[in-house]
Amino acid sequence: MKKYIVILLSIMLGFPVFSQNHPELIEKPHLKLKSDVMTPEVLWSFGRLSDPQLSPDGKTLVYGVSYYSKKQNKGNRELYRIDVDGHNLKQLTHTPGGEYNAVWRPDGKKIGFLSARNGSMQIWEMNPDGSGPVQISHFKEGITGFKYSPDGKKILFTAEVKLDKTPRDVYPDLPKTTGRIYTDMMYRHWDKWVDSYSHVFVAGYDGHSLKNITDIMKGEPYQSPLQPFGGMEQINWTPDSKTIAYTCRKLKGLAYTLSTNADIYFYNLADKTTKDMTKGMMGYDVAPVFSPNGEYMAWESMKHDGYESDKNRLFIMNLKTGEKADYTKNFDQNAHGLEWSADGKQVYFISDRHASDDIYRLDVRKDKITKVTEGIHDYTGVIPAGKMLYATRMSMSMPMEIYAVNAKNGNARQVTTTNKDLMGQLTMGNVKKFWVKTTDGKQELTWVIYPPHFNPNKKYPALLYCQGGPQSTVSQFWSYRWNFQMMAANGYIIVAPNRRGLPGFGTKWNEEISGDYGGQPMRDYFSAIDSLKKEPYIDENRLGAVGASFGGFSIYWIAGHNLNHRFKAFIAHDGMFNLKSMYLETDEMWFVNWDIGGPFWDKTNKEAQHSYATASPSNFVQNWNTPILVIHSQLDYRIPVTEGMQAFDAAVLRHVPAEFLYFPDESHWVLKPQNGILWQRTFFNWLDKWLK
């Protein structure tokens, strides 16, 4: 369920839901709040900053901010620019269609971006002050992402290509049939049925329009970037503009669903040949970045095929000799978001350590990694610029903003203040770090989030938060659904443990979940809540537990092991309930093969049989006795909606108080404003009913 943490967080933060059918502009809200605590409507009023890009002269940042309208039930993204010193903020676009993928042209004279203002998504350019917008592409199928070549003479872009014949193609006398015929697996993926492939194209560019467009993956039934989370970070130019490097898993059907073996391919523009540069490396190999002199390529690499949550290593290849090396072999952490320094001597990246994501620096010549920043926050991306770094940062108490970071000492200065007005009116609850002793004598980092205006002399109901992933850290993320400050604002103390199976605490800790879903990770949950409920301000008779994805599975499992009625209410969102049905319903088989151990019909596979016997919540439903709210969505193909339906029906048949919140138009996430607000209202109505 987790692919790359940074990418997953981007989705958690909420990409805008835009529509060409509603021409109304969505304006930045100017709210005067009646209270200083969070509400669902306030949460959906925050501007969501993303994707900063530094100008070639290093003086200006361009970035996007999405705002949502409850009334229109959609979002829209506009582009802004600001000087790196935090002055001269300017909104560059103001359209109902949304603008995306803003990048500086290499000469710095134009900003390129994607916009659907004239229908399909196309490449546009404008002056750095936002004037003179001109459409430069007219690609019939629409464009999903693009990058200028370093010499400014070419543009690569991605677009969806239809290759497979449909029944309408085979039987032209049935033009209205909606039937689909499949002969292999991977026919649906995450939230859509697979009827097209994302391909990489290259075109000449004369400063005005695209010419001589070539599909460099022509005829191949493969995806680049990797679906559904991959973006333009998985495709890049070599510095000499002669080669395109792209990430691809060149497998199809059953082979695709069983494997995570993605490689980095080089397409040579001169001779139109393609070469697999990471052949023989069996896990995810993604996101190539090149040293300024073009001699080296760095990329993110996982070792094992079929294991999506393997250690994310930092590899570097000498492109002259082909020699490659793991520069994180002695670094027991993940590396994400790699960026070379201008002199080619360092690679900066993001890594999680003890539930906070910080900026790190690799000195390539010395083979030495240094931590640059320190604090209770999550950095999510970094742009090196000489003595300064420009980075995005968030925390449990503050949404994403851009910071200028001193590359030497890590001191940070906030550049953007997107949500200054709202933040100035809100009181956030305090966030405190605890270390809890587990049943096997280890130490488990647990965040506790307190209500605003917390009174230590009062008794509060508390919620155990169960994390999804299953291997994504309970770090300092700001979410627009599972928002800890939102929960605390409703009068709850939140207990959020980093149980077994989460990164940031070493490879061994991270791996101690595979094949043991119903074991130590569950005991770690109990260790956290049983330790924290002893605090004098927590009412141990008013405990609830909530979670989504693997967290939703956790709730179902805990519901069958709720000894002494420890918890009085549950909420499970998009959770696995029956591991046998899950095995045959999910989209990517490598996930269940690695984490559960394999198919349930293989009676000789002791690991798999142990998982199905001890971990499947359906085996323990006879013990359910606690009110439960089940939330699930129709377009979730990773954990299909039938898992939630089974759980809800089981509760009703057991005469356990239950409620089912169903979204026919959402996927593994809830992204539409009115659905999101309904989600929050239903969430807290349920908790208040049973815990207050």
Residue with tokens 């926050």: 377
Domain boundary residue among 109, 125, 154? 154
Task: Give kind and range of the element (H or E) at residue 477.
Answer: none
CA distance 466 to 499: 9
Q: How far is 547 from 230, CA to CA, in rounded Å? A: 25
Looking up tokens 């094949």 gives 515
Which residues contact residue 340 at a Cβ distance below 8 angstroms, ignoring those fewer than 6 apart?
289, 290, 291, 292, 298, 346, 347, 348, 384
**Rg of the chain's alpha carbons, rounded to an integer?**
25
Q: Residue 330 has which token pair? A: 């002695």
Q: Is residue 534 part of a domain?
A: yes
Residue 147 pLDDT > 90, yes or no? yes
pLDDT of residue 272: 98
Would 577 be classed as within a structural domain? Answer: yes
Q: Which of 154, 181, 197 is the last residue of a domain?
A: 154
Task: Please give the helix or strand (H or E) that residue 431 lies within, else none.
Answer: strand 431-437
Output DSSP code: residue 675. Answer: H
Reading the block at residue 4, the tokens are 């790359």
What percent of the chain has a predicted confidence (pLDDT) above 90? 95
Answer whether residue 51 shows pLDDT above 90: yes
Residue 60 lies in a domain: yes
Helices 550-559 + 520-532 axis angle, to 10: 80
Q: Quick one: pLDDT band at residue 17, thresholds 50, 70, 90? A: very low
Q: Is residue 109's pLDDT more than 80? A: yes
Kindly indicate the confidence band of residue 122, based on its pLDDT and cuts at 50, 70 and 90: very high
* Cα angle: 463, vertex 436, 349; to 5 degrees: 90
Q: Which residue has the tokens 């933060």?
A: 13
Residue with tokens 């088989």: 589
* pLDDT-derived band at 118, boundaries 50, 70, 90: confident
**Ordered DSSP codes for 322-361:** --EEETTTT--S--EEEEE-TTSSEEEEEEEETTEEEEEE
Mean pLDDT of 371-400: 98
The predicted structure's pLDDT at residue 31? 87
Does the pLDDT value for residue 3 go beyond 90?
no
Residue 4 pLDDT > 50: no
- Residue 629's beta-bridge partner residues? 571, 659
Tell how far CA 71 is from the center of its chain: 27
What tokens appear for 131 in the block?
């004037």
DSSP code of residue 618: G
- CA dist 547 and 465 (Å) reads 6
User: Does residue 23 surpass a pLDDT of 90?
Assistant: no
| Pairwise CA distance, residues 553 & 189, whole Å | 20
- Could you give the CA distance from residue 380 to residue 441 in angstroms, rounded to a whole number? 32
d(CA 8, CA 15): 11
Within a domain: residue 191?
A: no
Domain contains 134? yes
Instruction: Determine the pLDDT at residue 22.
Output: 44
pLDDT tens per residue, range 465-490: 999 999 999 999 999 999 999 999 99
How much is the pLDDT for 11? Answer: 38
Angle at 240 between CA 112 and CA 360, to 5 degrees: 75
Report DSSP letters for 31-67, one per residue.
---SSSS--HHHHTTS-EEEEEEE-TTSSEEEEEEEE
Q: Residue 549: which of 6, 95, 99, 12 has the closest Cα?
A: 12
DSSP conformation letters of 482-530: S-HHHHHHTT-EEEEE--TT-SSS-HHHHHTTTT-TTSHHHHHHHHHHH
Specify the DSSP class assigned to residue 590: H
Measure CA 385 to chain center. 26
Q: Please tell me the distance from the alpha carbon of residue 607 to that of residue 86, in angstroms, as a whole number.
A: 56
Tokens in use for 271? 């001779």
CB 471 within 8 A of CB 513: yes
**Does the structure show a pLDDT above 80 at 112?**
yes
Q: Which two tokens stand for residue 639?
A: 């954990």
Q: Record the tokens describing residue 201, joined without a space.
A: 């194209």
pLDDT bucket at 24, cuts 50 / 70 / 90: confident
Average pLDDT on 274-282 reads 98
Q: What CATH number is associated with residue 536?
A: 3.40.50.1820
pLDDT of residue 671: 96
Number of domains in the chain: 2
pLDDT value of residue 8:
41
Does the structure show a pLDDT above 50 at 206? yes
- C-alpha to C-alpha distance for 529 and 523, rounded to whole angstroms: 10
Residue 502 falls within a domain, yes or no? yes
Residue 668 is predicted with a pLDDT of 97
Q: Which of 351, 611, 636, 667 is catalytic?
A: 636
Q: Using alpha carbons only, give the angle 234, 548, 399 rounded to the nearest 5 degrees.
A: 60
Classified as helix, coil or strand, 108 is: coil
Sign of the C-alpha dihedral, residues 619, 577, 525, 510?
positive
What pLDDT score does 12 carry?
38
Tokens describing residue 200: 């990489």
CA 430, CA 453: separation in Å to the nearest integer? 9
What SS3 string covers 525-580?
HHHHHHHHCCCCCEEEEEEEEEEECHHHHHHHHHHCCCHHHCCCEEEEECCCCCHH
13 versus 118: the higher-pLDDT residue is: 118
Residue 260 counted as domain residue? no
Instruction: Output the CA–CA distances (angstroms, integers) from residue 323 to 243, 258, 265, 298, in the order listed.
Output: 19, 29, 16, 12
In a domain, 410, yes or no: no
In the annotation, is 549 catalytic?
yes
Tokens of 74: 């959609």
DSSP assignment of 145-160 equals EEEE-TTSSEEEEEEE
Rounded to an integer, the average pLDDT of 35-64 is 97
Confidence of residue 262 (pLDDT cuts 50, 70, 90): very high
For residues 128-154, give the mean pLDDT.
Answer: 97
Percentage of residues in the chain having pLDDT higher than 70: 97
User: Is position 668 annotated as part of the catalytic site?
Assistant: yes
Residue that is last in its domain, among 154, 176, 202: 154
With cut-offs at 50, 70 and 90, classify the pLDDT of residue 30. confident
Q: Among residues 549, 611, 616, 618, which one is catalytic?
A: 549
Closest among 187, 198, 182, 184 to 144, alpha carbons compared: 198
Could you confirm whether 10 is annotated as catalytic? no
Give dist(CA 478, CA 470) in Å, integer. Answer: 18
> Cα(first)–Cα(last) distance of the chain, in Å?
33
Residue 327 has pLDDT above 80, yes or no: yes
Q: What are the pLDDT digits (tens) for 655-691? A: 999 999 999 999 999 999 999 999 999 999 999 999 9
Q: Which of 86, 82, 78 is nearest to 113 (CA)?
A: 78
User: Scanning the structure block, which residue is given the tokens 């009023």?
Assistant: 45
Closest CA to 14 of 82, 53, 67, 55: 67
Q: pLDDT tens digit string along 572-599?
A: 999 999 999 999 999 999 999 999 999 9
State yes or no: pLDDT of 53 exceeds 70: yes
Q: Which domain holds residue 652?
A: 427-691
Q: How far is CA 430 from each of CA 434, 448, 537, 643, rounded to the nearest angstrom?
A: 13, 8, 14, 36
pLDDT at 127: 98
Q: Which secondary-structure segment (H or E) carries 589?
A: helix 589-595
Residues ≥6 apart with Cβ < 8 Å to 479: 12, 13
Phi, psi of 325 (to 5 degrees): -145, 145
